[in-house]
């Protein structure tokens, strides 16, 4: 009968071989400098962390123009920091619309010449006999060549009494009103019946209205 006997030396050899197989299967074994440990699982983080040397500004991602942010100093304490204001749109002013105001219209310059005073002229009297020898119809044509209308005025007639032999015995004056208003650069005609006293013109005599004097405003 054969009998197997396990000794300590054989057991040690068997354990050594098993460990070598496990080491080769899972991962490479470390070199003697690593103390013979296998690298299993993720590496452990370093015990020494690098701390920031300056301020760190935290800006919210959902805020387009943050008005303020929280900064952390290297010692971990939070401090408040103001963010720069957003730039204004081009052409915009504080409290006003971005559309620039139109320039003021140019001041109108009057090209109208200043008005000139009234300038009244008249023609030679046109005479016409009536049924009475001491009366006659006298027509005058007026023209205002000035830049202002004639508002008022009078016409003074000088009527001559002529004898049968053509002698001018007397001149009688009478006054009538102008046909106003007479507009600037306008003309008008007016007829008056001019008479003298009947006794001044005996039978065989007649009258002639020759003289005209005009005053106006």
Give the pLDDT score at 49.
53
Q: Is the pLDDT of residue 14 over 50?
A: no
Does the predicted model carry a pTM greater than 0.85? no
Tell me the pLDDT tens digit for each residue of 168-195. Answer: 999 999 999 999 999 999 999 999 999 9
Q: Using the predicted structure, report yes or no on whether residue 120 has a pLDDT greater than 60.
A: yes
User: 192-195 — which CB contacts under 8 Å span 24+ positions?
Assistant: 192/137, 192/138, 192/139, 192/140, 192/155, 192/157, 193/130, 193/135, 193/136, 193/137, 193/138, 194/135, 194/136, 194/137, 194/138, 194/157, 194/159, 195/132, 195/134, 195/135, 195/136
């Amino acid at each position: 009968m054969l009998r197997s006997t396990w000794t300590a030396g054989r057991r040690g050899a068997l354990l050594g071989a098993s460990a070598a197989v496990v080491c080769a299967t899972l991962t490479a074994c470390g070199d003697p400098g690593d103390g013979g440990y296998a690298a299993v699982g993720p590496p452990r983080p370093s015990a020494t962390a690098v701390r920031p040397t300056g301020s760190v500004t935290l800006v919210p991602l959902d805020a387009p123009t943050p008005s303020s942010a929280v900064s952390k100093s290297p010692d971990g304490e939070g401090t408040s920091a103001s963010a720069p204001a957003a730039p204004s749109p081009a052409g915009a002013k504080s409290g006003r619309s971005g559309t620039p105001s139109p320039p003021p219209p140019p001041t109108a310059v009057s090209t109208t010449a200043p008005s000139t005073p009234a300038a009244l002229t008249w023609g030679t009297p046109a005479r016409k006999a009536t049924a009475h020898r001491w009366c006659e119809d006298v027509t005058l044509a007026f023209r205002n060549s000035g830049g202002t209308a004639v508002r008022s005025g009078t016409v003074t007639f000088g009527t001559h009494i002529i004898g049968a032999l053509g002698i001018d015995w007397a001149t009688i004056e009478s006054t009538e009103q102008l046909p106003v208003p007479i507009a600037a650069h306008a003309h008008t005609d007016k007829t008056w019946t001019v008479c003298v006293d009947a006794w001044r013109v005996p039978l065989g005599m007649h009258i002639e209205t020759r003289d005209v004097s005009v005053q106006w405003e």
